[in-house]
């Protein structure tokens, strides 16, 4: 089961710049839709990628759905070479997305967010 508060706390306390999207965002706006993972769009700056790595490393991120034992390194180089990652962690499932279809990346989306 995903611990949404723990995931959000880990990202926020590390200073990660991110936007919550998907089912959790919909629930925050009153939707009754059930969700089982947290979806975020993250800023792809080198500094933010480093913060993202630091935030999640203690929770052993691994590619969700990948076979056990498949080599996977959660580090800045992996994130910079990729874009969107569907992960499982010790505290739940998390999708970290560099961009989303129809919306773009963090910088394109942040102006439309509600704080």
pLDDT at 26 over 90: no
Q: Are 77 and 58 in contact (CB under 8 A)?
A: no
Separation between Cα atoms, residue 98 and residue 114, nearest integer Å? 19
**By percentage, how much of the chain surpasses pLDDT 70?**
97
pLDDT for position 110: 93
Rounded mean pLDDT, 75-99: 97
Round the average pLDDT of the chain to a whole number and report it. Answer: 92
Question: Residue 19's beta-bridge partner residues?
Answer: 41
Nearest C-alpha neighbor of 9 from the set 22, 20, 21, 25:
20
């Amino acid at each position: 089961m995903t611990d949404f508060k723990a995931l959000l706390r880990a990202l926020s306390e590390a200073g990660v710049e991110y936007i919550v999207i998907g089912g959790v965002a919909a629930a925050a706006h009153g939707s009754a839709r059930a969700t089982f993972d947290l979806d975020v769009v993250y800023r792809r700056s080198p500094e933010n990628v480093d913060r993202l790595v630091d935030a999640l490393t203690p929770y052993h991120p691994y590619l969700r759905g990948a076979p056990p034992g498949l080599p996977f390194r959660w580090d800045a180089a992996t994130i910079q070479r990729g874009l969107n990652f569907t992960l499982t962690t010790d505290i739940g499932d998390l999708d970290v997305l560099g961009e989303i279809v129809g919306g773009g990346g963090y910088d394109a989306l942040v102006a439309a967010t509600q704080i």
